[in-house]
């Protein structure tokens, strides 16, 4: 025998209040409600195991209580940590979170944005590929968007970022302090992708401040595939006495591939070549030697992105101008650069 679900009318009758009062309770509108009434409604809801009709509430409020996050690459530990922070914030706020992975493909990112808008999500958190800024600008006109890690200056939306130029400066400063003068940098394709551009620019600026000439051949632009990084590493090692004494990986996937390539070439870290990376990840502290990194507060960034978006949804889009929240990265010294 099928049991009919409890209705809001039954809750109101048993609690001795009106249906509108129960509705106000469910929507957390407690201003004109006494603590005793709130407690009585809560007790009846628990006793009857009442579950509000989410679809009906969404139609009435014109909100789905759902936001979506689109990340560029879910395989990157930085992305998964961001999502964990956003998810925890959403759960505390009673919001649902949909996760989409663009695989660093602009067309896939575009399809996800259009699909999520069709599903009427309340807002979007986007770690953009950097190729759909015009579309994001259009979306911002009617749906709240928070960009995370990557900027789109032409889009009027909130942005959560890290000072990548400062992070690269910290990395170069640390290596120079340890006596390194020929420093190579491995970066993913960086043009038109703001955090990558910032890290490369910070690298070049830091070399100049230390009076070190920038050698374009020591700036390796490559995909994160291990075979490509191994190919470039073999070319660097073949430079003989002109090979770099230190390598800077522009993100954690690149740094992991650098370490694997050096191991395959029997190049000892840090005795033969120092390694430092931008981004921290779980295994960085556990491998031998543990890897020195410039860490981003990824969890805090994800939580902040969700909090900013939820505040925007609550206050209304016109309530304030778009904000840019910039975090400072932190150098975490371990053993991969020859530290004692």
What is the residue-wise DSSP string for 159-212? Answer: EEEE-HHHHHHHHHHHHHHTT---EEEEE---TT-HHHHHHHHHHHHHHHHTTP
Taken in order of first residue, the domains within the chain and their CATH numbers are: 8-52 (no CATH), 64-162+298-328 (3.40.50.2300), 164-295 (3.40.50.2300)
pLDDT at 32: 74
pLDDT at 221: 96
Residues 191-200: pLDDT tens digits? Answer: 888 899 999 9
- Phi first, then psi: what are they for 100, rounded to 5°? -130, 140
Contact 336, 291 (CB under 8 A): yes
Tokens of 119: 């599903």
- Report the DSSP pairing between strands 330-332 and 292-295: antiparallel
Q: Return per-residue pLDDT of the chain as tens, 340 residues.
A: 445 677 888 888 888 888 878 877 877 777 778 888 888 988 888 888 887 765 455 545 556 789 999 998 998 999 999 999 999 999 999 899 999 999 989 999 999 999 998 888 999 999 988 888 889 988 988 889 999 998 887 778 999 999 999 999 999 999 999 999 999 999 999 888 889 999 999 999 999 999 999 999 999 999 989 999 999 999 999 998 889 999 999 999 999 999 999 999 999 999 999 999 999 999 999 999 999 999 999 999 999 999 999 998 887 655 568 889 999 999 999 999 999 7
Task: Decide: residue 248, CB within 10 A, 0-12 exposed, 13-18 middle, 19+ buried.
Answer: buried
Cα 95–Cα 100–Cα 106 angle in degrees, nearest 5: 135
Tokens of 12: 């109101």
Q: Cα dihedral angle (183, 186, 191, 195), rounded to 10 degrees?
A: -90
Query: How far apart are the C-alpha atoms of 111 and 143, rounded to whole Å?
Result: 16
Query: How far apart are the C-alpha atoms of 81 and 93, rounded to whole Å?
Result: 19
Contact 148, 195 (CB under 8 A): no
What is the residue-wise DSSP string for 209-268? Answer: HTTPPP-GGGEEE--S-HHHHHHHHHHHHTTGGGS-SEEEESSHHHHHHHHHHHHHTT--
pLDDT at 1: 40
pLDDT at 318: 53
- Phi first, then psi: what are they for 44, rounded to 5°? -65, -40
């Amino acid at each position: 025998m099928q049991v009919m679900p409890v209705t809001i009318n039954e809750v109101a009758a048993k609690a001795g209040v009106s249906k509108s009062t129960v509705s106000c309770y469910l929507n957390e509108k407690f201003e004109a409600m006494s603590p005793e009434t709130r407690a009585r409604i809560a007790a009846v809801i628990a006793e009857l195991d009442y579950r509000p009709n989410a679809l009906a509430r969404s139609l009435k409020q014109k909100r789905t209580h759902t936001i979506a996050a689109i990340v560029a690459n879910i395989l990157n530990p930085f992305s998964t940590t961001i999502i964990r922070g956003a998810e925890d914030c959403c759960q505390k706020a009673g919001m649902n979170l949909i996760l989409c992975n663009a695989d660093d493909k602009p067309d896939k990112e575009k399809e996800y944005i259009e699909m999520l808008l069709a599903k009427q999500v309340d807002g979007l958190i986007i770690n953009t590929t950097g190729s759909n800024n015009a579309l994001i600008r259009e979306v911002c006109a009617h749906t709240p968007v928070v960009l995370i890690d990557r900027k789109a200056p032409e889009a009027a939306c909130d942005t959560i970022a890290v000072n990548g130029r400062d992070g690269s400066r910290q990395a170069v400063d640390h290596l120079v302090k340890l006596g390194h003068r020929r420093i190579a940098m491995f970066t993913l394709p960086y043009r038109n992708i703001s955090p990558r551009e910032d890290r490369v620019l910070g690298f070049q600026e830091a070399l100049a401040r230390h009076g070190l000439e920038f050698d374009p051949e020591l700036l390796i632009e490559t995909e994160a595939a291990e075979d490509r990084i191994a190919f470039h590493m073999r070319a660097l090692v073949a430079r003989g006495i002109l090979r770099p004494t230190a390598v800077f990986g522009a993100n954690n996937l690149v740094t992991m591939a650098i370490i694997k390539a050096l191991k395959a070439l029997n190049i000892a870290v840090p005795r033969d070549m120092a390694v430092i990376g931008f981004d921290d990840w779980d295994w960085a502290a556990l491998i031998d030697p543990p890897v020195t990194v410039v860490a981003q507060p990824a969890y805090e960034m994800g939580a902040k992105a969700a909090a900013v978006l939820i505040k925007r949804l609550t206050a209304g889009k016109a309530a304030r101008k778009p904000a840019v929240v910039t975090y400072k990265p932190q150098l975490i010294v371990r053993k991969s650069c020859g530290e004692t």
